Amino acid sequence: MRLPCAITRLTEYRQALITSALTGKIDVRTWQSEQEKMIDLNFAHCAI
C-alpha cells in the first residue's frame, strides 16, 4: 500500500511545482535539463 501513497504524493508535488512556476513563485527561465547541459558543454568544448 506504500506505492499508491507515493504516487499520490509525487502527483501533488508535481502539481504544486507547476503552479509555483506558472504563478511566478519560482523562476524557471534559466532551467535546463541535464541533456541540454551536456549538449551545451559539448558545443562549448568545440568552440574556437
Per-residue HEC secondary structure of 1-48 comes to CHHHHHHHHHHHHHHHHHHHHHHCCCCCCCCCCHHHHHHHHHHHHHCC
pLDDT at 45: 64
- Render pLDDT for 3-44 as a digit per residue (tens, 0 to 9): 999 999 999 999 999 999 999 999 988 888 888 878 877 776
2 vs 1: which has the higher pLDDT: 2
The widest CA-to-CA distance across the chain, in whole angstroms, is 56
Q: Which residue has the cell 508535488?
A: 13
pLDDT at 13: 96
1 vs 39: which has the higher pLDDT: 39
Domain assignment of residue 29, given as a range: 2-46
